[in-house]
Structure 1
Amino acid sequence: MASDYITEQIRGLPSRPGVYLFKDAEGNILYVGKAANLRHRVSSYFGAGQKLTPKGERMVSKIGDLEYFVTTSEQEALILELNLIKRHHPHYNVRLKDDKSFPYLKIDLGEDWPRVHITRRLEENGGRYFGPFASAKSVRQTLKLLKGIFPFRSCTRTITGADPRACLEYDIGHCLAPCIGLVSRQEYAEVIKQVILFLEGKQARVVKQLKGRMNRAAEALDFERASRLRDQIQALERVVEGQRIATTVKGEQDVIAFEEDKDQACVQVFFIRGGKLIGRESFVLQGTRYEEPGQIMTSFIQQFYASSPQIPPLLLLQHPMADMATLQGWLQSKRGGRVKIQVPKRGKKRQLVKTVAENARQSLEQLKIKQLASPKAISAALGEIKEKLNLPRLPSRIEGYDISDIQGTAAVGSMVVFDKGKPKPAHYRRFRIKGVSGADDYAMLEEVLKRRFKRASAASDSWAIMPDLVLIDGGKGQLNAALQAMEQMGVASVPAASLAKENEELFIPRRKEPIVLPRSSHGLQLLQRLRDEAHRFALGYHQRLRKKQSFASALDTIPGIGPKRKRALIRQFGSVKAIREAPLEELAGAKGMSPKLAKNIKEHL
């Protein structure tokens, strides 16, 4: 419900395009938004029947003031909104992380001897800019690649052609040494043109030009120059070969997809030029919790292309954008030409978007691991776990357990270990369930823990190291089964807890109600990683056993196929399906096989 003060302000809003700013009582900017109709858009936050997301409800509850700017068009409002978000970084806007100064590659075409260098400033001074890149590391890698192919200068000295000697760059073939007059301005300009073509994705033209120059040098008997050009062509062709992608695409396009987790999203952009993947960048968006996929995509497109000196004629997106027409018009005005925006539903383009989405998912997983693996985050997580679970000491060694089976078949258990907050695969252990028949996860868990702690009493290796915390994948029932087994093995003093997947609730002994940590908790995230790792490890072992059992059972019923021939068939064909589909002649030619046996197998399968 809006205060009287806000209600009066809304009544005074014009029904025109513009940008609005929500502020708290202290004047801090909470949110910046654009609108085709300011009055309608702003009042929509405060209507009695409005259904807001939890994030929206929290924001509205904090609004103490509002400000607005009237613009002449929606496109102008979009540009102003972008500038205000970039300047103020409002908490409730979806925003690019560290977007203040993306790095670019710049080629100073106004110089007599242009350099290719890294900059964080976009200026209207006749230079060519390529980017933005997601990080300084990414742009440095690209510059290193260019330097290995094209011999342009990287120094800042004034070029007169009269220096007494060239630097080491010339000696290793990375510069044409204009400083001592070994190259004309025209020849050097050709190298810079090739660099630009390469960065534009037109590598085929560069290769063609270099081959022509190599042939002319050979005809002129300048074999040293021809050899140098040949090496340059080979280096370029290796790069081009590495840019080929499985999906056949044509033309110039950017392909954009993201993966979201809690309050952040990892966006992956593939840059395709001339049908080749010339690069990709990964960006992080913050403030994405409770936002619709279309709004997340819209926010990224706005902020990324506001800083991008190049916009291709086609964008392939994972999700449709909100306010597509306005954004398309804005992109076209920036590009100075037509820009198509597609959300493919089938075919090669859809497959390409799925590939980018999978890369985004992998990037997000790596990002989460890095965030959780920082010493500060690990220390905070272990301290929080100790406090919330009432542990006697910091849980430096945590063991996670899980069971995997299907109705009791191929039943296995897993034990994974996190040491000081990090996985320790050398101490992971698998257990094949031996003493439980049927689907009884509690009994299976008891068996695994009894076997684990029985080994501890007789071992001197990693088995002998006692955990500071045992974490069970499951709820109260699984925890009670674990506690019973540990008491029987004389290790009841080892702290234990369970983590249930559905609501991420933690259960500990002698406490009726579960412990619920916030989803942003470092302690909870560490325990989730441990629980998920135990699940992954158990499931992988279970699937291998099932595959082996199904393979074996299908072959065991065939007369004449004993253990030796079965192993040979497994090695050669890999699956029952592959054996069933193999030609009779190929089957008969396998090790230890004969035409008669091959025919017998075909009949049985």
Structure 2
Amino acid sequence: MADELPYKPRPGEIPTDPGVYRFHDAHGRVLYVGKAKNLRARLSNYFAPLRTLHERTRRMVLTATGVEWTVVATDVDSLQLEYQWIKEFDPPFNVRYRDDKSYPFMAITLADEAPRVMVTRNHRIRGAKYFGPYPKVWAVHDTIDLMIKVFPIRTCSDSSYKKAMASGRPCFPGQIGRCGGPCSMTVSIEEHRAIVEDFVAFMSGGDQRFTKQLTARMREASAAMDYEAAAGYRDKLEAIDAVLNKSALVLASDTDADLFGIAEDELAAAVQHFVVRGGRVRGVRATTIEKELDISGAELVAQVLERTYGDAAPADIPRQVLVPERPDDADELEQWLADRRGRRVTVQVAQRGPKAELMKTATLNAQQALMLHKTRRTSDYVARTQALTDLQEALGLAEAPLRIECYDVSHLGGTNVVASMVVFEDGLARKDQYRSFGVAETTDDTDSLHQVLMRRLAYLDQPDADERGTGDEAVLDAEADVVTERRRPRFAYRPQLLVVDGGRPQVEAAARALRDSGHEEVALCGIAKRLEEVWLPGEDYPVILPRTSEALYLLQRLRDEAHRFAITHQRKRRKRDIQTVLAEVPGLGEARIKALLRHFGSVTALKKASPAEIEELPGVGPKLAAAVHAHLASG
């Protein structure tokens, strides 16, 4: 594979102005859209040596056949244009958003002659004012039932309203006290409109004036010995208290803010959006994001805000947005939001106090949502069965692959080569059966893969042999944190499918291992990072699975888990190697070795340190510092 992309622009071609860029494939489809304050500096990151790119970024630039850019006047313009292009082209490598559910809202149809309060999931009612979203439908109905006791507005359907107004007879909900509109024949259209405005004012900020007014009227009625009226005001006050208690006071009563809790891993992110109005959480929306490209936490926050407010009405944009990490272009985002809202908007990180506590709550909810998202598809029996059935059909297998083993090779510049084996049974990860292999001598990745598979397949002929491995096959625990030496059962179990991380060369190397070991009955495939192609041995063309396929999702999880496990083991080996080297220095014990690595932060920094800098560590004298420096330099 060439280390330089054929469509890389010539030096000096890319301007240094702010702008928006888009990568496209050979058919002109836009693959990715991004913005930059400095186009040349930003795009140079994509044209770095391929081996240095994150695997998802590498897959995107290899899929693309060209890149274009548009220069704009300001950073705010670039933000606006990026959002428009993402909406227009729906690029597959930009983050993919999916609401976890269709949330119910309370809507007041202000465009109607007599506005009606209703429960709806339709966000496009002309002229409607929305409150929520609410987590449950019954929560909206309960709120409406309490609110119409204080603000009796119309609840009946449009057909009932028209019939009542035409006939002069109250609508049925009005007859039983469930509708307070003009159709109940108790108020005029103008009087009803005033009540609706009070309803909206209260729901928008929990206006305390209503509580004060009702309290004053209750006392006046009681003083006048009009106890029936006083009881009515008391019941309304209790209804208001019930509504306010449903939405606990968490911030100052004048706080209008949106708060975003985010939890993420390499593949996905979960967002919890808390809508705070009048100091109370008025609604919560959960969103799951599929990350097709490697992006930082700050970039993710910026994209979440763009997506949330891109089509929002000005009234739905608060004066304060609280985020877990301030984006690099936060100033431009604030200007963009202010332009849309018509008033100032701030984007801030909650540092302390009640806002920070609420952020912890939102983040905890996001972490739980991310865990559910990751396990839902694999823990759901129907989804797992569908994935295995789809995989059986796509690969032409005689039976569904109930045990799948996936292999990945990792190295550091051709040295310190390790390989990983992860196991999925019935679509679920079996972390107690993961294995890692050290490869002492090898020529390339395909040779390493052949060696590892030969060693693993040898156990299929020895079902009763000692199953601890061959000594250099260290086993990590479920979180890949500790190397253990206990016996691992079922290593002799026969897999129905072997998966390798890679394309045609890796698959052919694995097929050669199956032939050499005499186990060609085991099915084999490889998943290539470039286009998520699935390669079969001896085939000239790959199998292309739909991007929404459960089978592809399962293969991606296998591949990513094998990659994670291999990288984790390699890092631990590198750390163990440097500790072994340092242990050879006379007078340097385990405690001082850990202190040295902790003090300098990395092996590279320690190797670059002078004897004087090493000597700064407590307990390390001039002679020991000189010995450490000399030993590392000689190695």
Name the TM-score class by shorter chain: 0.5 to 0.7
Deviation by residue 1:225-267 (Cα, 9 ceiling, x = unmatched): 7666544432331231232256778622222111114422111
Q: Does 1:163 align with 2:171?
A: no
Q: Does 1:282 align with 2:286?
A: yes
Aligned equivalents of 1:103 and 1:199: distance in 2?
A: 16
SS of the equivalent of 2:158 reads coil
Aligned equivalents of 2:171 and 2:54: distance in 1?
A: 62
Deviation at 1:374, TM superposition (A): 4.5
The answer for the alignment partner of 1:179 in structure 2 is: 183
Mark the CA change 1:28 to 1:2 in structure 2 (over 3 Å): closer, same or farther.
farther
Mark the CA change 1:386 to 1:108 in structure 2 (over 3 Å): closer, same or farther.
closer
The answer for the alignment partner of 1:293 in structure 2 is: 297
Aligned equivalents of 1:301 and 1:245: distance in 2?
A: 25
Pick aligned residue for 2:323 from 317, 328, 337:
317
Deviation at 1:501, TM superposition (A): 2.4
Aligned equivalents of 2:199 and 2:357: distance in 1?
A: 31
Aligned equivalents of 2:555 and 2:480: distance in 1?
A: 15
Where structure 2 has 5 or more consecutive residues not aligned to the other structure, the ranges are 404-424, 437-462, 465-474, 482-487, 502-526, 528-550, 562-635
Aligned equivalents of 1:138 and 1:367: distance in 2?
A: 19
The answer for the alignment partner of 1:501 in structure 2 is: 478
Mark the CA change 1:18 to 1:290 in structure 2 (over 3 Å): closer, same or farther.
closer
SS of the equivalent of 1:251 reads coil
SS of the equivalent of 2:281 reads strand
8 Å CA contact 2:57, 2:293 repeated in 1: no
8 Å CA contact 1:499, 1:507 repeated in 2: no
More displaced, 313-322 or 248-257? 248-257
Q: Does 1:339 align with 2:345?
A: yes
The answer for the alignment partner of 2:586 in structure 1 is: none
Give the aligned CA root-mean-square deviation in angstroms: 4.9
Aligned equivalents of 2:212 and 2:499: distance in 1?
A: 67
Q: Does 1:194 align with 2:177?
A: no
Mark the CA change 1:116 to 1:242 in structure 2 (over 3 Å): closer, same or farther.
closer
Identify the structure with bigger relative contact order (alpha carbons < 8 Å, sequence gap 6+): 2
Opposite residue 27 of structure 1, the aligned amino acid is G
8 Å CA contact 1:384, 1:523 repeated in 2: no
Deviation by residue 1:430-459 (Cα, 9 ceiling, x = unmatched): xxxxxxxxxxxxxxxxxxxxxxxxxxxxxx
Mapping for residues 46-85 of structure 1, pairs under 5 Å:
46-47=47-48, 51-85=52-86
Pick aligned residue for 2:208 from 199, 204, 207:
204
SS of the equivalent of 1:161 reads helix
SS of the equivalent of 2:333 reads helix
SS of the equivalent of 1:299 reads helix
Deviation at 1:383, TM superposition (A): 5.5
8 Å CA contact 2:170, 2:185 repeated in 1: no
Opposite residue 508 of structure 1, the aligned amino acid is F
Deviation at 1:43, TM superposition (A): 3.9
The answer for the alignment partner of 1:149 in structure 2 is: 147
Opposite residue 7 of structure 1, the aligned amino acid is P
Opposite residue 325 of structure 1, the aligned amino acid is D
The answer for the alignment partner of 2:90 in structure 1 is: 89
Deviation by residue 1:24-50 (Cα, 9 ceiling, x = unmatched): 112121101122343443344224599
Aligned equivalents of 2:358 and 2:184: distance in 1?
A: 49
Aligned equivalents of 1:386 and 1:206: distance in 2?
A: 65
Aligned equivalents of 2:321 and 2:96: distance in 1?
A: 20
More displaced, 79-88 or 63-72? 63-72
Deviation by residue 1:114-163 (Cα, 9 ceiling, x = unmatched): 2345475569x7654556x4x9x767853663354224324223557343
More displaced, 256-265 or 295-304? 256-265
The answer for the alignment partner of 2:9 in structure 1 is: 7
8 Å CA contact 2:204, 2:277 repeated in 1: yes
TM-score w.r.t. structure 1 length?
A: 0.59
Deviation at 1:312, TM superposition (A): 1.9
Deviation at 1:333, TM superposition (A): 1.8
8 Å CA contact 1:163, 1:180 repeated in 2: no
Opposite residue 16 of structure 1, the aligned amino acid is D
The percent of aligned pairs where both chains have the same amino acid is: 30
Opposite residue 287 of structure 1, the aligned amino acid is K
8 Å CA contact 2:50, 2:58 repeated in 1: no
Pick aligned residue for 1:349 from 348, 355, 371:
355
SS of the equivalent of 1:97 reads strand
Mark the CA change 1:304 to 1:352 in structure 2 (over 3 Å): closer, same or farther.
same
Opposite residue 279 of structure 2, the aligned amino acid is G
8 Å CA contact 1:113, 1:188 repeated in 2: yes
Mark the CA change 1:210 to 1:381 in structure 2 (over 3 Å): closer, same or farther.
farther
Deviation by residue 1:347-373 (Cα, 9 ceiling, x = unmatched): 433222112111111222333444345
SS of the equivalent of 2:347 reads strand
Aligned equivalents of 2:28 and 2:322: distance in 1?
A: 40
Mark the CA change 1:210 to 1:280 in structure 2 (over 3 Å): closer, same or farther.
farther
Mapping for residues 295-444 of structure 1, pairs under 5 Å:
295-309=299-313, 310-374=316-380, 376-380=382-386
Mark the CA change 1:353 to 1:223 in structure 2 (over 3 Å): closer, same or farther.
same
Opposite residue 305 of structure 1, the aligned amino acid is Y
